[in-house]
Structure 1
């Protein structure tokens, strides 16, 4: 089963909260209260999101966290990369394959196409869409079947 981790899910919830008021500075405590995620987890994820460049922090008594870019410019693919590392559904579909069967495998090339289609779909989804704050953001929905056909051509 393809599934993101609980921490990635929580990280997305945190980013969605920040996206709801992108110009506001949020303390970790405020984010924890607003999302109902424990403060230690929120603090850990905010630091990770800051290191990845998705969130910026301001120190001081009036400091806090906010998105580094507008929500419409942050993609689901970028969020997953920041929280889980590069997306790959099989060993050979990642950028650094260590599969010893790759040169003799009949299915690897097809899994790579599926991985590329999923990656494109994740790139087409913005944080604004994930957060439900797409007002004023133009988005395009592309069915996964069309992406799979396009990768086959």
Structure 2
């Protein structure tokens, strides 16, 4: 399972915006420069993220972008869903989709919502604040007996 590049970029852009959460507003151009995400892509993401209530945009002098709520109250699930829609690992979970050749005999379909909720729960357990922290390096583990002469 992989996120789309747009969902990935949305997480990167939101993490960059969160680093400015001390009250300062940031522009989409700044976010593009800081992240390396192309400007037009940042503009598209900012629009979706603002529509989802994750970013607040204001125009004019002193305008720019700001998180709509504290970074601790925004999760990776929120960001992914803002860009991709509800988290669903299979197309058959989408309402109104009936294009699977196995649908009439599938015994797993009723269980996909449970799997989807588990994945969503895992992503919801990662607040944006965790993505802004500097990671701590884990010590390398190696066995000296493996290399003993």
Question: Which interval holds the TM-score relative to the shorter structure?
Answer: 0.7 to 0.9
Count of aligned positions = 132
Per-residue CA deviations over 1:109-132 (Å, capped at 9, x if unaligned) read: 333322121111111111111232
Summarize deviations over 1:20-43 as a string: whole Å, max 9, x none: 121220011111111122222111
CA displacement at 1:103 relative to structure 2: 5.7
Following superposition, which runs of at least 4 residues in structure 1 exceed 4 angstroms of deviation?
A: 100-103
TM-score (norm 2): 0.78
- Consecutive unaligned residues of structure 2, counting only runs of 5 or more, are 136-149
The structure that has the greater radius of gyration is: 2
- How far apart, in 1, do the equivalents of 2:9 and 2:91 lie? 26
Q: Counterparts in 2 of 1:43-62, with a 5 A limit?
A: 43-62=43-62
2:56 partner SS: strand
RMSD between superposed Cα atoms in Å: 2.1
Unaligned 5+ runs, structure 1: 135-153
Does residue 86 of the first structure (1) align with residue 86 of the second (2)?
yes
**Secondary structure in structure 1 of the residue aligned to 2:117:** helix
TM-score (norm 1): 0.76
> 1: distance between equivalents of 2:73 and 2:7?
19
Report the more deviating stretch, 65-74 or 20-29.
20-29
* 2:145 matches 1:121: no
Secondary structure (helix, strand or coil) at the match of 1:56 reads: strand
Shift of 1:16: 0.0
- 1:29-40 alignment to 2 at 5 Å? 29-40=29-40
Shift of 1:97: 4.8
